[in-house]
């Protein structure tokens, strides 16, 4: 039987994924919280501008408030909301799950436990995604690079069924099935900790931010701290983003090379991180789910991560409106390494 797929959260990533699967003949329903975006999709289709050209795809899309009107369950649900929205998004679709449905968290941060708590380990699939993309206008996605995914589950019965997810997700990009999804998620945190919030604090595209004096060293150290924390928690240093040849001999070596390869392979001159995009839209960003998580885990271990701590402190002040983001904060960040 043809699988029924839902994508909850159709921002830049979720919308592009849904469009790719729809064009491949998959039965996809988009569930979205931005009414103007839903209206634009239903009126004009979804436009994706990518390195390979422009596509316009007609999608089935509904607002969150209409989920309660649905009756037929989904086989696979892709959750592509912010990490802090994971619990309510999963709760929203629980009535539309079968006992063998799969729920895939295509997100930054460690959302595996929240998903498991809500939908059960027997349905939970973790996913790492890497792509540079943005969406500032309803119905229009600008995808600057190709997509890469890693999927995995901590439930053996689900792990054996991951080809079901890979078969549909591969329409959107390269998919790798991994044995240790929690370690893979932590390796993505190494990259995220280094560049997402740090460059947003400077209110600059990533390549401009890291070119400021002291910022390459600072961002590298922020990633190293994340890698050391992962190892201290018992996780493994494993390749991600299809970089089979990346140095996994130590968290420091891995973090150093990973950041440099993100800069060369997944960044354009105008690439702004998702955190900066959120702030530009006046939205709360995933600072607690990224640098905040590393700070909390190190505190639980009895340690400190100075680069992540100052990043979190400044980001909280920016979100509270007591500090203005900008290049003038570079010196305050780099001072943490002195």
pLDDT in tens, 120-145: 999 999 999 999 999 999 999 999 99
Domain boundary among 179, 196, 218: 179
* Tens-place pLDDT, residues 205-258: 999 999 999 999 999 999 999 999 999 999 999 999 999 999 999 999 999 999
Instruction: Say which CATH number the domain at 90 has.
Output: 3.40.50.720
pLDDT at 125: 98
Distances 29 to 11, 38, 60, 62, 65 between C-alpha atoms, Å: 14, 11, 5, 8, 14
Q: Are residues 52 and 154 in the same domain?
A: yes
| Final residue belonging to a domain, choices 160, 179, 198 | 179
Task: Give the domain CATH number at 304.
Answer: 1.10.1040.10
Same domain, 242 and 151: no
Q: Give the pTM.
A: 0.96
Residue 55 predicted with pLDDT over 90: yes
pLDDT digits (tens, 9 = 90+) for 18-50: 999 999 999 999 999 999 999 999 999 999 999
Residues whose CB falls within 8 Å of the CB of residue 38, separated by 6 or more in sequence, listed in order: 30, 32, 61, 62, 63
Residues 110 and 252 in one domain: no
The answer to whether 142 and 49 are in contact (CB under 8 A) is yes
The answer to whether residues 332 and 198 belong to one domain is: yes
Last residue of a domain, one of 122, 152, 179: 179
Q: Tens of pLDDT along 138-197?
A: 999 999 999 999 999 999 999 999 999 999 999 999 999 999 999 999 999 999 999 999
Q: What is the pLDDT of residue 1?
A: 65
| Distance linking the first and last C-alpha atoms of the chain | 61
DSSP state of 81: S
* Tally of domains within the chain: 2
Question: In Å, what is the CA distance from 169 to each residue of 22, 133, 317?
Answer: 11, 17, 38
Report the candidate in 181, 145, 170 with the shortest Cα–Cα distance to residue 76: 170
Whether residues 197 and 327 share a domain: the answer is yes
Please count the helices (runs of H) and the strands (runs of E) in the chain: 14, 12
Give yes or no: residues 116 and 24 share one domain: yes
pLDDT of residue 70: 97
- Do 155 and 34 sit in the same domain of this protein? yes
Q: How far is CA 332 from CA 113, 266, 329, in A?
A: 34, 27, 5
- Strands of the 53-57 sheet, one edge to the other: 53-57, 46-50, 140-143, 133-137
Residues 135 and 116 in one domain: yes
Residue 72 lies in domain: 4-179
């Amino acid at each position: 039987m043809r699988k029924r797929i839902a994508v909850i959260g159709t921002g830049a990533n979720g919308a592009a994924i849904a469009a790719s699967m729809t064009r491949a003949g998959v039965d996809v329903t988009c569930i979205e919280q931005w009414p103007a975006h839903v209206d634009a999709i239903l009126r004009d289709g979804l436009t994706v501008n990518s390195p390979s050209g422009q596509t316009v795809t007609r999608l089935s899309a509904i607002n969150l408030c209409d989920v309660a009107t649905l009756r037929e369950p989904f086989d696979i649900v892709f959750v592509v909301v912010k990490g802090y929205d994971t619990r309510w998004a999963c709760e929203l679709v629980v009535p539309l799950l079968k006992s063998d449905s799969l729920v895939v968290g295509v997100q930054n941060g460690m959302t595996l436990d929240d998903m498991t708590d809500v939908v059960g380990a027997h349905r939970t699939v973790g996913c790492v995604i890497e792509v540079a993309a943005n969406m500032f206008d309803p119905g229009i996605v600008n995808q600057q690079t190709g997509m890469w995914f890693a999927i995995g589950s901590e439930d053996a019965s689900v792990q054996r069924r991951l080809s079901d997810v890979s078969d549909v997700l591969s329409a959107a990009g390269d998919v790798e099935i991994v044995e240790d999804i929690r370690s893979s998620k932590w390796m993505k945190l190494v990259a995220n900790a280094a560049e997402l919030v740090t460059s947003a604090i400077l209110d600059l595209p990533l390549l401009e931010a890291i070119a400021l004096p002291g910022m390459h060293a600072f961002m590298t150290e922020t990633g190293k701290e994340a890698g050391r924390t992962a190892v201290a928690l018992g996780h493994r240093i494993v390749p991600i983003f299809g970089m089979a040849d990346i140095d996994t001999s130590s968290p420091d070596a891995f973090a150093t090379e990973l950041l440099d390869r993100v800069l060369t392979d997944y960044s354009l001159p105008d690439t702004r991180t998702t955190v900066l995009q959120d702030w530009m839209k006046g939205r709360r960003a995933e600072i607690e789910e990224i640098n905040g998580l590393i700070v909390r885990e190190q505190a639980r271990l009895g340690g400190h991560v100075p680069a992540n701590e100052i990043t979190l402190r400044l980001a909280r002040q920016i979100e509270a409106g007591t500090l203005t983001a900008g290049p003038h904060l570079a010196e305050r960040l780099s001072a943490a390494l002195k």
